[in-house]
A and B are shown apart, each in its own frame.
Chain A
Amino acid sequence: MIPSLSAASGRSPRRAVLYPSSFLAPAFAVLAVFFFLPTVFNFVYAFTDWSAFHDDIRPVGLANVKAVLSNGALLSSLRITIVYAVLVAIMQTGFGLGLALLLERDTRINRFARVVFFIPVLMSALAVGYTFQALLKPDGPLNGLLGALIGQQVTIPWLGSTTWTVVTVAFVNSWKWMGLAMVIFLAGLKTIPADVLEAARIDGAGRWRTFRSIRFPLIAPAVTFNVATALLGSFNGFDTILATTGGGPAQQTEVLDIYIFRVYGNGLFAQATTMSLALLLLVALLAFPVIGYLRKRERVL
Chain B
Amino acid sequence: MRNSARAWSRLVHPAVVIVLAAVVIGIPLWLALVTSAKSQGEANLPDLSLPRVWHLWDNYSQAFSQGHMLWALFGSLLVMVPSVAGVLIFGSLASWVLARRTGRVMAVLYSAAISGIILPPAVVTIVLLLRQLHLASTPTGMVLVYMGMYMSLVIFFVTGFVRTIPVEVEEAARMDGARPLGIFIKVVLPLLRPVIATATILICLYIWNDVFYAFFVLGGGTYSTLPLNLYSVASSNLYQNNWNLVFAYVVLMSLPLIVVFVVAQRRIISGITGGAVK
Contacts and interface: CB of A to CB of B under 8 A. Distances in A.
Interface centre among A15, A116, A122, A141 (most CB of B within 10 A): A122
B32 interface: yes
A23 interface: yes
B36 to A, nearest CB: 10
A135 B31 contact: yes
B273 A187 contact: yes
Which of B90, B128, B149, B277 has the largest number of chain A CB atoms within 10 A? B90
A295 B160 contact: yes
A184 B94 CA distance: 24
A27 B276 contact: no
Contact of A37 (B20, B109, B129): B129
Interface string B33-46: 00100000000011
Contacts of B97: 19-21, 23-24
A41 B122 contact: yes
A113 B9 CA distance: 15
B184 to A, nearest CB: 8
A257 B212 CA distance: 12
B17 A35 contact: no
Contacts of A229: 202
B209 to A, nearest CB: 4
A27 B145 CA distance: 13
A31 B120 contact: no
B96 A190 contact: no
A141 B151 contact: no
B42 to A, nearest CB: 13
Interface string A33-57: 1111111011001000000000000
A118 B125 contact: no
A27 B155 contact: yes
Contacts of B112: 31, 36
Contact of B144 (A30, A105, A183, A187): A30
B77 interface: no
A110 B17 contact: yes
Interface in B86-110: 86, 89-91, 93-94, 96-98, 100-102, 109
Interface residues of A, number: 88
Contacts of B152: 31, 35
B267 interface: no
Contacts of B25: 116-117, 119-120
B100 A28 contact: no
Given A5-B175, A28-B94, A283 B273 contact: no
A288 B269 CA distance: 28
Interface in A169-221: 175, 180, 183-184, 186-187, 190-191, 194, 221
A246 B117 CA distance: 25
Contact of A118 (B147, B171, B180, B261): B261
18 contacts: A18-B180, A19-B101, A26-B90, A30-B90, A30-B144, A34-B148, A39-B119, A39-B122, A119-B258, A122-B257, A124-B211, A125-B209, A127-B247, A131-B31, A135-B31, A141-B47, A144-B48, A187-B273
Interface of A: 2, 4-6, 12, 15-21, 23-24, 26-28, 30-31, 33-39, 41-42, 45, 102-103, 105, 107, 109-111, 113-128, 130-132, 134-135, 140-141, 144-145, 175, 180, 183-184, 186-187, 190-191, 194, 221, 225, 229, 232, 235-236, 239, 257, 269, 273, 276, 279-280, 283-284, 287-288, 295
